[in-house]
Amino acid sequence: MPLVLYGSTISYFTGKLEAALRYKEIDYRLEPMRSQAQRGLIPQATGVFQMPAFQLEDGRWLTDSTLILQWLDQAYPAYPLLPQDPVLRFVSLLLEDYADEWLWRPAMHYRWHYAPDAARLSRHISQELLSDMPGPLWLKQFFVRRRQRRLFTAGDGVSAHTQAHVEGIYLGTLTALEAMFANRSFMLGARPSLVDIGFFGPMFRHFSQDPTAAALMQERAPHTQAWVDRMWASRGSQMQGDWVRVLPQDFAPLLREVGQAYMPYLLANAQAVAQGHKRFNVTIQGCAYQQVRTSRYRLLCLEMLQHHFAALSALQRVELDAIFAGSGISPALRAQLPARSGVDVVTHSAFSPGLAMLGL
């Protein structure tokens, strides 16, 4: 009985988890999370309407790719994803979170803003996930496109004013990754790690496959495109070589983005939760975003990062401060938060009910 992964063949977080399962050589079966058949069952089991949802042989359910990966690394220790070294481990957790949450908006923007992308993806979603609903294909496509834009692009701060900044997040990521993959196979060296898996989420199902973003990757970042294929093909038992011992210098541009863009966003989001606002305005790198959706889940992300950071020794934190120097990350990791997600960061796991993601 293989494990069952409920998700979709175009989903950011499903593709991310599949890459980890394939690399760790864990047998699984992918089932489309169809609308009607599973609409009741899965959210009831996991506490949240999101994909992927993961079911073990014994019937237990897991949710949230970040927590599932942490559990998998313990339950299936062969071919680990998280480095043992506490400093590299923390950087891995930080960058995985960044790739999950901050690359989400550009990934959704490229998919739903450009007409050829929106047409292709709305057809795919309608056929794969809404096939058990009545109604003509064109109508399903219309509703899918409208919903995604309302929730994830136009309804989450992407506008004519912010579009260039949102697209710059993708283009800057390509530049940073290209510099790495011109020199080595994976982000931390000769084998994949949690950092690769994190970036693989957006880079695989969105940026390397949605037409507009994929054309940009092909043109500007051929080494990154080759890494996407390499990641998907990699199997732990066939890997030679190891991870680096010291974080390479070429991580600096990504860390600068974490400190200058993602952390200010997370802190503004925490403020919005504290004030009970459903939406908030925030200026990131000089670009004024308006009506960004408040997320209790992302407040939890910041709490988790602060929790992991606080659990390190003083010496390890000093080492990280040196790595993060000038980026703005360290102050955010020590900031007093004005609100709490309400989740216990010590006991929270992939088996806990998920936090509803849509604006909560």
Q: Are 299 and 343 in contact (CB under 8 A)?
A: no
Nearer to ligand GSH, 252 or 357 (CB): 357
Q: What minimum distance in Å lies between the beta carbon of 262 and ligand GSH?
A: 15
Nearer to ligand GSH, 51 or 194 (CB): 51
Q: What's the DSSP call for residue 358? A: S
Q: Which residues of 101-132 are buried (b: 16+ CB within 10 A; e: fewer)?
A: bbbbbbbbbbbbbeeebbebbbeebbeebbee
Q: What minimum distance in Å lies between the beta carbon of 321 and ligand GSH?
A: 28
Nearer to ligand GSH, 51 or 95 (CB): 51
Q: What minimum distance in Å lies between the beta carbon of 50 and ligand GSH?
A: 3
Nearer to ligand GSH, 67 or 214 (CB): 67
Nearer to ligand GSH, 251 or 297 (CB): 297
Nearer to ligand GSH, 20 or 270 (CB): 20
Q: Which long-range contacts (CB under 8 A, 24 or more apart) does 179-187 make?
A: 179/250, 179/253, 180/248, 180/250, 181/223, 181/224, 181/226, 181/227, 182/223, 183/250, 184/248, 185/227, 185/230, 185/241, 186/227, 186/230, 186/231
Q: What minimum distance in Å lies between the beta carbon of 66 and ligand GSH?
A: 5
Nearer to ligand GSH, 295 or 330 (CB): 295
Q: What minimum distance in Å lies between the beta carbon of 149 and ligand GSH?
A: 12
223 is written with which tokens? 């080494």
Q: Is 53 left (phi over 0), alpha (psi -120 to 50) or beta?
A: beta
User: Cα–Cα distance between 229 and 98 in angstroms, integer?
Assistant: 22
Nearer to ligand GSH, 192 or 202 (CB): 202
User: Cα–Cα distance between 157 and 169 in angstroms, integer?
Assistant: 14
- Helix pair angle (296-310, 263-275), 10° resolution: 120
Q: Are 10 and 124 in contact (CB under 8 A)?
A: yes
Q: What minimum distance in Å lies between the beta carbon of 205 and ligand GSH?
A: 8
Q: What minimum distance in Å lies between the beta carbon of 274 and ligand GSH?
A: 22
Nearer to ligand GSH, 51 or 169 (CB): 51
Residues engaged in binding ligand GSH (CB under 6 A): 11-13, 49-51, 64-66, 100, 357
C-alpha dist (Å) from residue 125 to 32, 205, 213, 233, 320: 10, 13, 18, 25, 42
Q: What minimum distance in Å lies between the beta carbon of 288 and ligand GSH?
A: 26
112 is written with which tokens? 């739903």
Residue indicated by tokens 């919903």: 147
**Dihedral angle sign, alpha carbons of residues 47, 51, 55, 59:** positive
Q: What minimum distance in Å lies between the beta carbon of 65 and ligand GSH?
A: 3
Cis peptide before 52 (omega within 30 of 0): yes
Query: Nearest CA to 167 among 129, 126, 212?
Result: 212
